[in-house]
Amino acid sequence: MIFLDKNEFGYTFKIQAESHESLLESKLFSTKEEANQLIEGLKNTSVTHFTFERKTNNNGEFLFNMKDATGNLIGTSQSYNSEAGMQNGIKNLKTILVTLKA
């Protein structure tokens, strides 16, 4: 599920699992149209065109960035306590992205 959010700085979207766990929060967009264009792009792009950059934060937690084929940041995951949890988050996100095309 994808949810569009507006805050004082602009727009972001969140992709959530069926369990309502947040899998990815997008970068900030200045307009709603920009955010919607990227959402539509996600629906029309193969999962193989995305790169998942795995990282560890200063607290030793795991997270990932999702980037497009040209290396531009799309969004960042929540923090995970384990590497296996992060890997599962990537797997769940890929599954959701595939179902967007249906």
> Which helix (H) or strand (E) segment is 12 a member of?
strand 10-16
Low-confidence ranges of the chain (pLDDT < 70): 101-102
- What is the pTM for the complete model shown? 0.89
CATH number at residue 92: 2.30.29.80
Q: What is the pLDDT of residue 91?
A: 95
Residue pLDDT, tens place only, 41-57:
888 888 888 999 999 99
Q: What is the pLDDT of residue 18?
A: 86
Round the average pLDDT of the chain to a whole number and report it. 93
Range of the domain at 22: 2-99
Q: What is the pLDDT of residue 65?
A: 97
Q: What is the pLDDT of residue 61?
A: 97
Number of domains in the chain: 1
